[in-house]
Amino acid sequence: MLSQGDVLSYLEMCANFGVNLQRGMNFRLKGNDSLILMSLRRGAPYADRFEEAGRVIIYEGHDIARAQGGPEPKEVDQPEFLPSGRLTQNGLFLDAVRLYKLGRADAELVRVFEKIRDGIWTYNGLFRLVDAWQETSDRRQVFKFKLEIVDKAILNVHGSGEQIDHDRVIPSAVKLEVWKRDKGCCVKCGSKENLHFDHIIPYSQGGSSKDAKNIQILCSRHNLAKHDKIE
């Protein structure tokens, strides 16, 4: 079961869903989980951002696919429909928001993964898709999607519980600083497998999510052994 703060390789991330993730927006993979891949790294292709101390994500929709002889994707409006008339991923997420706002469906639950370096991702948790709109960016129209973190235990589509602690969201810059400092391995044993961003002093006991000195990388064995005790 995924836990907020887990660190995964690209292959591990894909293995959790049984697919090769080839795009950033994925609406109900195999009819089940919806998920998005985001990045705040310099040079990232889309203008994603966190708000409200990481509790809210504003996620930018995706461009048309690049095609030989076709237009430059960054120079045309982001599409809601494919040439066939079917909904793009933008359109599928937008339609979910419309149904939610009409009271005809619950807010879509979306798992969010963030790229912290090439081939390395972190699981930011489970979010509710609550709003969407279009805005002008460099003379073209782009989609924006608002997601709010789930702050209580829920049952996912497979029936297993997932506990989300919204107060433990670690800013992207802190994750990257800690990853570089700890050399991408468990500070206890040096393992590079099953890693997790851990609060040295738990948030519930006054520890900060915004200070890299309070965050460390642990493997799953040492993370479980800690059990939120101050060391």
- Please tell me which residue, 134 or 172, carries the higher pLDDT value: 134
- Answering whether pTM is above 0.85, one says no
Distance, in Å, from the CA atom of 29 to the CA atom of 19, rounded to the nearest integer, reads 8
Return mean pLDDT, the chain. Answer: 88
Domain borders along the chain are 6-166, 170-231
The CATH number of domain 6-166 is 2.30.280.10: yes
pLDDT digits 0-9 by tens, 155-194: 444 444 444 444 557 888 899 899 999 999 999 999 998 9
Nearest alpha carbon to residue 174 among 203, 201, 210: 210
